[in-house]
């Protein structure tokens, strides 16, 4: 059997061996089809009437997509009909098509959340479930393995599923990229793989461990020399820091909104800044900072308050 389309099924059968059938040569074959839903039976092909004694394949057309049909064939010769063949059941559907790659919904330092959409064309047969496969980026195709376990029934038996949290990671995986795809299964036991996606296992940077601080010896009544610590790899979320943003309220400690002095929107990895503009002797100023990596800005540090003196 081969699937031709959502509304047709092509079948082929083995011929009767010449010389073994009583009554001489085969005159032809008759194909019988039964609709499993309404029980109707018809003969779409009669090789005896058509004189097509050697034809051993036929495509049944105008079928209902996704419906089960039962097929059997009978050989005829001079003595009439032989015994009917065993009955074989097939579904009128084809392999799904147009299955877009899954996409990231969230990441942490130890998990990746993905989501996917059902194939745009399911081929006539309902989706019965999914499987998600993953490998480390840069490794051979044969490295793909199902997550979070082989034959994961919580995924394979849920046709309505469209998201999954992957937790099959160890500490050494932080900062690595992983290739993933989703496999969709249908009632006909066919399957379709989605396009691939590559996702980095990482999170936004951690909260800075200390607040910004002022170097008194470099500051005065008209300038403030502020420091903010570079964060090491244990705090970068799993991927390199791209920028630090130092912010102040600019409102002399009166509770105004914080604005960035450096690092946002233009990236900067500087860890010190001298502020000249807007400084007034005897006034208080509030500062905070945060770090950004590939996945975005992390939380702010604690706020520090300094005096221009």
For 199-244, write each residue's pLDDT tens digit.
Answer: 999 999 999 999 999 999 999 999 999 999 889 999 999 999 999 9
Question: pLDDT at residue 19 above 70?
Answer: no
Q: How confident is the model at residue 23, as a pLDDT?
A: 60
Nearest to 27 by CA among 59, 49, 57, 42: 49
Start-to-end C-alpha separation, the chain: 89
Question: Considering 91, 123, 138, which residue would you say is the last residue of a domain?
Answer: 91
Same domain, 241 and 190: no
Pairwise pLDDT comparison (148 vs 248), residue with the higher score: 248
Burial class, 82, CB count within 10 angstroms (exposed 0-12 / middle 13-18 / buried 19+): middle
**pLDDT tens-digit profile of 264-294?**
999 999 999 999 988 999 999 999 999 999 9
Residue 123 lies in a domain: yes
Question: pLDDT at residue 189 above 80?
Answer: no
Residue 24 lies in a domain: yes
Question: pLDDT at residue 106 above 90?
Answer: yes
Q: How confident is the model at residue 120, as a pLDDT?
A: 82
Same domain, 86 and 113: no
Question: pLDDT at residue 126 above 90?
Answer: no
In this prediction, residues 136-161 reach a mean pLDDT of 87
Same domain, 242 and 174: no
Residue 96 lies in a domain: no
Residue 208 lies in a domain: no
Confidence bin at 157 (pLDDT 50/70/90): confident
Compute how many other C-beta atoms are within 10 angstroms of the C-beta atom of residue 90: 20
Residue 205 lies in a domain: no
Same domain, 22 and 75: yes
Strand partners, 237: none
Residue 207 lies in a domain: no
Q: How confident is the model at residue 252, as a pLDDT?
A: 64
Question: pLDDT at residue 44 above 90?
Answer: yes
Q: How confident is the model at residue 2, as a pLDDT?
A: 57
Identify the CATH number of the domain in which residue 118 sits.
2.60.40.10
Question: Considering 91, 121, 148, which residue would you say is the last residue of a domain?
Answer: 91
Same domain, 195 and 232: no
Q: How confident is the model at residue 79, as a pLDDT?
A: 85
Is the C-alpha dihedral spanning 73, 78, 80, 83 positive or negative? negative
Q: How many independent structural domains does the chain possess?
A: 3
Same domain, 134 and 158: yes
Q: Let me know: does 273 contact 264? Beta carbons within 8 Å.
A: no
Same domain, 291 and 223: yes
Both tokens of residue 207?
């909260």
| Mean pLDDT, rounded, of the chain | 91
What residue numbers bound the domain in which 42 lies?
2-91
Same domain, 187 and 261: no
Residue 177 lies in a domain: yes
Q: How far is CA 180 from CA 70, 191, 198, 216, in A?
A: 38, 16, 6, 53
Residue 109 lies in a domain: yes
Q: How confident is the model at residue 3, as a pLDDT?
A: 56
Share of the chain above pLDDT 90, in %: 70
Same domain, 186 and 218: no
- Radius of gyration over alpha carbons of the chain, in Å? 35
Q: How confident is the model at residue 150, as a pLDDT?
A: 74
Confidence bin at 1 (pLDDT 50/70/90): low
Pairwise pLDDT comparison (2 vs 231), residue with the higher score: 231
In this prediction, residues 27-44 reach a mean pLDDT of 94
Question: Considering 161, 176, 200, which residue would you say is the last residue of a domain?
Answer: 200
Same domain, 13 and 74: yes
In this prediction, residues 249-258 reach a mean pLDDT of 75
Same domain, 84 and 57: yes
118-122, 141-145, 202-206, 302-306: least confidently modelled range = 118-122
Same domain, 19 and 39: yes
Q: Is 8 strand, coil or helix?
A: strand
């Amino acid at each position: 059997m081969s699937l031709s389309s959502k509304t047709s099924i092509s079948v082929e059968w083995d011929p009767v061996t010449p010389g073994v059938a009583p009554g001489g040569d085969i005159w032809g074959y008759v194909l019988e089809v039964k609709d499993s839903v309404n029980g109707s039976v018809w003969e779409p092909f009669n090789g005896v009437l058509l004189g097509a004694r050697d034809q051993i394949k036929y495509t049944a057309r105008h079928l209902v997509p996704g419906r089960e049909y039962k097929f059997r064939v009978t050989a005829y010769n001079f003595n009439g009909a032989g015994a009917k063949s065993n009955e074989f059941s097939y579904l009128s559907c084809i392999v799904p098509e147009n299955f877009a790659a899954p996409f990231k919904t969230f990441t942490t330092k130890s998990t990746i959340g993905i989501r996917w959409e059902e194939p745009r064309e399911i081929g006539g047969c309902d989706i019965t479930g999914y499987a998600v496969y993953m490998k480390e980026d840069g490794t051979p195709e044969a490295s793909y393995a199902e997550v979070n376990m082989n034959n994961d029934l919580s995924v394979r038996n849920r046709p309505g599923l469209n998201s999954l949290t992957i937790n099959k990671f160890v500490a050494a995986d932080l900062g690595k990229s992983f290739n993933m795809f989703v496999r969709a299964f249908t009632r006909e036991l066919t399957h379709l793989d989605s396009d691939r996606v590559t996702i980095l296992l990482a999170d936004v940077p951690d909260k800075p461990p200390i607040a910004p601080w002022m170097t008194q010896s470099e500051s005065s009544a008209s300038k403030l020399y502020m420091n903010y610590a570079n964060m090491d790899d244990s705090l970068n979320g799993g991927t390199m820091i791209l920028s630090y943003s130092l912010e102040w309220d600019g409102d002399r400690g009166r509770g105004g909104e914080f604005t960035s002095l450096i690092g946002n929107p233009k990236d900067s990895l500087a860890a010190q800044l001298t502020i000249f503009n807007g400084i007034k002797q005897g006034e208080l100023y509030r500062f905070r900072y945060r770090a950004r990596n590939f996945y975005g800005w992390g939380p702010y540090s604690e706020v520090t308050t300094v005096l221009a003196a």
